[in-house]
């Protein structure tokens, strides 16, 4: 069975890609992912806050003690005049991963602003990454900020990164845009080589005992895949870029549904964190078996077959689907 695919111009032996997670922090684990059958890997993210913090720490060391003599205050310029050294450990990790693996290595940047953050996109390319994933984790809490201005932030970051690098760039999206189809087109026009549906906004919890806000990580479940699956099916054939499915991918059936909707690759992390890297090989075997049993010769024959442009009732993806769902459940009495 031919499971090969092409993602952002990169040749992958199959469509399963471990997404950005703590699993990618160790080269030995990355090798195990490759041995298990992963088509590519996405490294853990380099966060904008890490770059800012390291630059701030450097500046504090440089100016420490200069206030002893009045004339020494001018010995060092302010931090913006320095070229930020940044978290070199991440760049070294990219280099080591690329040297250790034969499958494509995709780096990840998580932030929201341009400037020094964009500079590290270029450094990541120099370190050998095959592609770059942008994960803009931004919650617009300012009441004066309009939806259009929020969209402009995403487009500006993508455009600046594309100008800084020559490797493919994927944009990991949030599901909360008011006009997601239009936003997807804007990002493709700005140069996105792939759109990834969707990132997860981890919601904090409240500790009533200690009256504190606490972080609360919950791993995904398969049902969460329905939202990204729907949007991939809606956009397949309408935007000229690769579409990637993430969030809720746990089984071979999930991967096959993603392909039928129009996804080029399916990304997973929670399943691997819960049940081990061996799940990659198991899922691949089940995908291949299903394709054989259903007389498919390759992934391309399945891809997009259940997208909106190819189904007999395209309205099922839109308003009619809502009406059907809310009318389908009864409490068991009249």
Supply the pLDDT for residue 321: 63
Looking up tokens 């490759």, which residue turns up? Answer: 34
3 state DSSP class of 323: helix
Helical H segments across 145-295, by residue range: 147-164, 180-189, 226-235, 252-261, 270-275, 279-293
3 state DSSP class of 109: strand
Whether 257 is covered by a domain: the verdict is: yes
Whether 323 is covered by a domain: the verdict is: no
- Tell me how far CA of residue 125 lies from CA of 84, 99, 121, 146, in angstroms: 17, 14, 6, 33
Task: Give residue-wise pLDDT tens across range 218-243.
Answer: 888 999 999 999 999 999 999 999 99
Supply the pLDDT for residue 67: 46
What residues make up the domain containing 138?
5-309
Closest CA to 262 of 289, 229, 295, 291: 229
pTM here? Answer: 0.85
CATH code, 42: 3.20.20.70
Supply the pLDDT for residue 204: 80
Whether 327 is covered by a domain: the verdict is: no
Cα separation, 192 vs 155, in Å, equals 9
Whether 114 is covered by a domain: the verdict is: yes
- Tell me how far CA of residue 256 lies from CA of 20, 241, 304, in angstroms: 21, 20, 11
Strand partners, 50: none
Whether 107 is covered by a domain: the verdict is: yes
Whether 328 is covered by a domain: the verdict is: no
Q: What is the DSSP string of 2-36?
A: B--EEETTEEESSSEEE-SSGGGGSHHHHHHHHHH
Supply the pLDDT for residue 85: 36
Tally the domains of the chain: 1
Whether 325 is covered by a domain: the verdict is: no
Whether 317 is covered by a domain: the verdict is: no
How many CB atoms neighbour CB 300 within 10 A?
13
Task: Give residue-wise pLDDT tens across range 279-316.
Answer: 999 999 999 999 999 999 999 999 999 999 998 777 77
Supply the pLDDT for residue 169: 98
- Mean pLDDT of successive 10-residue stretches along the chain, which has 334 residues: 96 97 96 98 85 46 42 43 58 97 96 72 96 87 90 93 96 93 98 94 83 84 93 97 97 98 97 97 98 95 95 74 66 57
Task: Give residue-wise pLDDT tens across range 95-115.
Answer: 999 999 999 999 999 877 666
Share of the chain above pLDDT 70, in %: 82
């Amino acid at each position: 069975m031919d499971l090969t695919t092409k993602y952002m111009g990169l040749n992958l032996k199959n469509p399963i890609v471990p997404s950005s997670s703590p699993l990618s922090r160790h080269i030995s684990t990355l090798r195990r992912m490759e041995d298990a059958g992963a088509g590519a890997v996405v490294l853990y993210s380099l966060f904008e806050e890490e770059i800012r913090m390291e630059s701030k720490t450097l500046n504090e060391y440089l100016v420490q003690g200069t206030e002893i003599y009045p004339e020494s205050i001018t010995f060092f310029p302010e931090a913006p005049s320095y070229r930020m050294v940044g978290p070199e450990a991440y760049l070294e990790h990219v280099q080591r991963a690329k040297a250790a693996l034969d499958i494509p290595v995709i780096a990840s940047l998580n932030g929201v602003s341009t400037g020094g953050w964009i500079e590290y996109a270029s450094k990541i390319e120099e370190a050998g990454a095959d592609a770059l994933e942008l994960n803009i984790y931004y919650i617009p809490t300012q009441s004066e900020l309009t939806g259009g201005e929020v969209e402009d932030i995403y487009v500006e970051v993508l455009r600046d990164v594309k100008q800084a690098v020559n490797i493919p760039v994927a944009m990991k999206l949030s599901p909360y845009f008011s006009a997601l189809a239009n936003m997807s087109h804007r990002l493709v026009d700005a140069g996105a080589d792939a759109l990834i549906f969707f990132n997860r906004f981890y919601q904090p919890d409240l500790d009533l005992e200690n009256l504190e806000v606490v972080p609360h990580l919950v791993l995904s479940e398969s049902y969460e895949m329905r939202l990204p699956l729907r949007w991939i099916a809606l956009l397949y054939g309408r935007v000229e870029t690769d579409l990637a499915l993430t969030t809720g991918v746990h089984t071979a059936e999930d991967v096959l549904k993603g392909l039928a909707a129009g996804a080029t690759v399916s990304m997973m992390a929670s399943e691997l964190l819960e049940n081990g890297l061996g799940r990659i090989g198991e899922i691949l075997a089940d995908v291949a078996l299903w394709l054989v049993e259903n007389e498919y010769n390759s992934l391309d024959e399945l891809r997009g077959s259940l997208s909106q442009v190819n189904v007999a009732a395209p309205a099922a993806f839109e308003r009619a689907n809502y009406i059907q769902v809310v009318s389908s459940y009864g409490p068991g009495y009249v």
